[in-house]
Structure formats: C-alpha cells, structure tokens
Structure 1
Amino acid sequence: MNDRPPATTPQRASLHEYRRRIDRAVRHIASNIDRPLTVDEAAEAACFSKYHFHRLFMAVMNESPGEYITRKKLERAAIRLVYANASVTTLAEDYGYSTVAAFSKAFNHWFGCRPTELKALGEGPGADNGKLQSRHGKTLRAEELFVPVAVPEDAQRRAEIGSRVTIRQVDGFELCYLTSSGGYEPDSVWETWRALRGHVGEMADLDACAWFAISHDHPGLTPAAQCRYDACVALPAGVEAPLPKVGVPGGFFAIYPVEGPEASLLGQYLELYTLWMPQSGYEPADFPVLERYLPDSRPGYLYAELWAKVHPLRFF
C-alpha cells in the first residue's frame, strides 16, 4: 500500500494552510487555558484578521472560537473536579469566572448538572439536558468517567497501580505530528499513523524515533465529533521534517505503563485518574495526556505508557 498522501493541488494546499493556522489557534488556547483568553488573541495566534477568524474557525472546528474556549475551560475544570478534588472556588478563580455562582451557572448550562453533583454521578440517573446533550446528543455516564470503587479489591488495585506509576521530571521537547481527520475513530487513527510513518521513513530510521500520541479530549466529557487526536514523533537529533510541530512543556509527568486491546485503554486511563490521582499528592496539569507507544504495538493491541503532566497538589 502506498502510504504517501496524494499530490497537493492549490485548493488542497489552501485548505491545509487554513487548518494549520486554525490548529495554531487551538494550541495557543490549550497552552493558555488557565488564564483569561480573548478571541482576538486566538485570531492573532492564527495570523488571521479577527473579522475573518470567526467564520474560518467555525468552518474547521464546527463551533465558534468563543464556544470552544468556554467548552475547554469547563472540560478542564471537570477533570480537576473529578480526579483531583479541586474546590469549586479554586476552579472558578483558575478559569476566569468572577464568582462561584457564575462558574456554576456556566458548568450547569453545558453539562446539565452543577459541579457539586458531578462526582455523585455514579449514584444517580445522570445529567439533565444541558448543551452537551441537546447540541451533541451526549450524556454524562458514570462508566465513562469513573472506575467503580466500592469493590473489595479496590485498595489492592490502588496499591498495584501506585507501584507501577513513576514520577519523572522531563525537560521540554518537540514533536512533529499529523492530526487524525476522524478524531478517535480507529480507522482514521491508524491511517494517520501510516501517513506519519511514511513521511518520517523518508528521512530517518523509524526505530530511532520515539512515537507519541496526544489525545486532546476526555471521551467521557467531550462529544465524539470534537475529540482530537495527534499522531506524533520525536525525531533523532539533527533530523528535520516538513511537518507541523508542537512543544511539550517540561515538568513532572506521572508515567503509567499500559497494554491491551485499544478498547481497554479508556479503562486504564480511568484507573490512573480515579484510583491513583486523588491519593497521589499530585493533580493533573492543564495539558493533555501523552501516549508513548512502545515496540510491538499494532492495530488492535497496544503496548504504551501514559504520560500525565502533573504538579504537586495545592491546598487552599
């Protein structure tokens, strides 16, 4: 099979450039989600006029830039609320809301439940009809957010996971990437990997590269159509590739080895976040989890490490 992309036409080149520049805005938003952000600032990051940016962002992302910023702030807040026991007051301050009431109203408007109700989701019927459900048809489900904890083996499983997690301080590094056009859909993911390996194989020894993925969104919180997945490579020193690049910030990472069928990966994510994170003394940072793929990974079965960026738990 020929893994090379088809020849580039002027129309396709223009579309690629638009997507590349909108991606710059998206990554700028992700890197600055913990401070006040304006749409004008995102437009500047994409090198688009603010008068055209809104329309172009909508065309590529299927939501307005303002809606995207709000959604990502609320999703990050939900992750910290569920997995790090962050207080509602802290989250309101960290994500730029003037009051706890304003944050709770925005949270309820999107998810269909108040922040204080989210952690009790497993005990009740589920969220009411917020924008997440009315717009995208997605309901918050306990099995997509939590590992069941009321089981006799829970303490033993926590200890086992804790013995496998390594906290490592990592210097910042750069990844080249291609984005899956179909998000987390398996066929799209593996097609993206074939294209990336085809590009890299022309300029570097594949075995000398380190292979990562960035899963930008929690599938329990984010509609499937908005989930974004990047296939990434860390190239050997001295090798350059004509591919978009993203920087991974330095800091502490919780590294957790996993393996199994692709469908089992979410459950192993949830074990790390539900069973290990709340008692670890750390909380998740505002950076998506990296998956480092190890040798012998193949379509259908993965050997990997989850790299979750963390920082010491703050007490207020």
Structure 2
Amino acid sequence: METRPPISLCPVTLLDYRKRICDAMNFISQNLENELSLEEIAQAAIFSPFHFHRIFTTLTGESVAAFTRRLRLERAANRLLQDQRTPITRIAMDGGFSSSQNFAKAFRQHFTMSPSAYRKSKTGNTCRKPGNAFHRDFPYAADMMPAGSPFFQNLKNRRELTMKGSIEQIPAYRVAYIRKMGAYGHEICEQAFGELMTWAGPRGYLEAGTVLGVYWDNPEITPPEKCRMDACITLPDPAEPDGDISVQQLRGGPYAVCRFEIANADFPKAWNEAFIWFMEQGYACDDSPCYERYHTSPEEHPEGKWIVDICMPLKPA
C-alpha cells in the first residue's frame, strides 16, 4: 500500500481568529465616519480579503456591513440621548450617513421609532443598571470581551446539521465549465448546471465525471451582477470541450472537506457550519476559491437531498 506523506499546513488557532476579528471590530469602531472597504478592514486584521467576510460573519453572527451599520446607529442613539441640542441632521452626517433621510429610515428599522421620538422617550440605554445610565461608546477589544459572551461561545453549539469533516489532498481538476455572472443563488446555479448537463450527458461524461460548483467572488466586495459562478465537470484526458463550453484547471492541494446530506434550503447553513469546523481545526485559508463537490442530486436521493462536499483550500506551511 502506498504511504502518503503528511500534509503540512499553516497553523492558525481559533484564539488567533478571535483576536484578529476583534482587531477588525476595533478598526471599524475607530473609523465609523469613514467608508471603509472590505480590503482595508481585512488588511488591518491581517486577513486575506478573499475569505475574511465569511470568517467575520461566522464568528460574530453579523456581516461586516451589518456590524458597521449597527455600530453607527448605536453611536447615533447614544448621542441623541447625551446631546439634546445638536440637530438630528448633524448627528446623521457626523455618524457617516449620506443624508438625514437615510439615517431616519435605518434608525426606524433598527429601533422601531424615529430619531426624534427616541430622543424624547428615552432616558438611557437598555443595557444599564437602574439609576446609572451608560452613555459612552464601548470599543470592542479581545481583552474586553467577556468569556461568556456569544462571540466566545463554543462554536459546536451553533451547529444544526450533520457533517463529516476531513483534510484531503485533492488533485488538480481539469474541468469543462459553464460560467454565469449574477447574484449567487438557486436561479443562477440551475441555469449553469442545466446547460452543462445538456452538453455533458450525450458525450458520456456524466457517468465518470466529478461535478463541481465554483464560486469565484466575494459578494460583499463584488457587485452581485458581477459575481462569477462556474458549473464544472471533470474531463478525461485528452477530451476537449466544444461549443460554448470552456476548459480550466482547478487548484490541487490540501483542502478542508466537509460532507453534508442536505436539502436545497440548507446550503447557506452548511457553508457557515463548514467554516466553523475549519476554524476549529486551526487552519488558514489559501487565496483560492472554495467549491462544492456533488455526489448525488435530489433526483437521485430517496429523500430528495444533496450529498455534497464543501471544499475550502488550505494554506500550506
């Protein structure tokens, strides 16, 4: 039996991830009046921007954009309580909002009342001791976060799906593919795979080929209409694609592979739980796209489910 050499990977502890996410939170808190790009925030926390947004969301429960918006609104709410004389429009503009109308709409959605009604009806924040209003902005920092807070809870407690995780040395895949551009979701995947299957079926590639879905772009950086999704199937050598089909080679190397048996609606949750597992193992992501590797489709499964691997490229040591 052939003995494979051990996979050498760049180690990152879960505590490292938490500290660096705290650095990102601090950077956002200190620059709320500025329009920060995701690349700037990732760089401040020494993250690659490619996977930063998913790691941030997994550990905090909020996207970077939602976190930033919430902090701006909370800071404005504090100022409304502290400073009764400053016009609301000035508070909105100082808080990084483009107009008082946008501020009022966002504020009402978050606090269920207008800024003026909040200023009139509130005597202090809800998170205060009786008789001791707490009005100061409280920065996020690793040494300030209480051990029992949601940010530091055991990530395993947030899992709802059954998953099998492993580290695999995956070969480079030479694939035929159909590319679609647009917001990630069921519609774009159905179009891409429908065209790919129509091409691959008559040529006999479905029986032996591995089917993959590759997601190239970060929808928090790339506009939704510009996001690239590839429906792929591996090609036997020396087969060549034709017509509207193109060919490419996907990166080989070490991957974190998380296998799920899920319904259509569970894909977002599966991606989140795959990243939870990968961070618990202490690995760092490489700057390459993740992909889905399909074993069965709902049409082939007795319960109408997918058996799918979520494959995340790892950074070698």
- Alpha-carbon contact 1:179-1:229 (below 8 Å) kept: yes
- Alpha-carbon contact 1:217-1:228 (below 8 Å) kept: yes
- Unaligned segments of structure 2, at least 5 residues: 1-13, 46-55, 73-96, 107-148
TM-score between the two structures when normalised by the length of structure 1:
0.51
Deviations 1:209-262 (A, max 9, x none): 110010123446654323321100102344322221221122101111123232
- Alpha-carbon contact 2:60-2:151 (below 8 Å) kept: no
- Alpha-carbon contact 1:200-1:241 (below 8 Å) kept: no
- Alpha-carbon contact 1:291-1:305 (below 8 Å) kept: yes
Q: Which position in structure 2 is the counterpart of 1:204?
A: 204
Distance 2:240 2:261 in 1: 31
TM-score between the two structures when normalised by the length of structure 2:
0.51
Q: Which position in structure 2 is the counterpart of 1:295?
A: 296
Distance 2:155 2:60 in 1: 18
The correspondence for 2:266, drawn from 249, 264, 267, is 264
RMSD: 4.7
Which residues in structure 2 correspond to 1:5-44 (within 5 Å)?
Answer: none
The correspondence for 1:250, drawn from 249, 252, 256, is 252
- Alpha-carbon contact 2:182-2:226 (below 8 Å) kept: no
Tell me which amino acid in the other structure corresponds to 1:295: T
- Alpha-carbon contact 1:113-1:127 (below 8 Å) kept: no
- Alpha-carbon contact 2:209-2:234 (below 8 Å) kept: yes
- Unaligned segments of structure 1, at least 5 residues: 1-80, 92-99, 140-147
Q: Which position in structure 1 is the counterpart of 2:171?
A: 171
Measured after TM superposition, the shift of residue 199 of structure 1 is 1.3
Measured after TM superposition, the shift of residue 157 of structure 1 is 6.3
Distance 1:223 1:196, change over 3 A: same
Instruction: Report the secondary structure of 2:231's partner residue.
Output: strand
Q: Which position in structure 1 is the counterpart of 2:37?
A: 110
Distance 2:207 2:271 in 1: 27
- Alpha-carbon contact 1:84-1:284 (below 8 Å) kept: no
Q: Which position in structure 1 is the counterpart of 2:283?
A: 282
Instruction: Report the secondary structure of 2:239's partner residue.
Output: coil
Distance 1:166 1:283 in 2: 15
Between the aligned residues of both structures, percent identity stands at: 20
Residues matched between the structures, number:
205
Q: Which position in structure 2 is the counterpart of 1:241?
A: 241
Deviations 1:19-55 (A, max 9, x none): xxxxxxxxxxxxxxxxxxxxxxxxxxxxxxxxxxxxx
- Alpha-carbon contact 1:204-1:239 (below 8 Å) kept: no
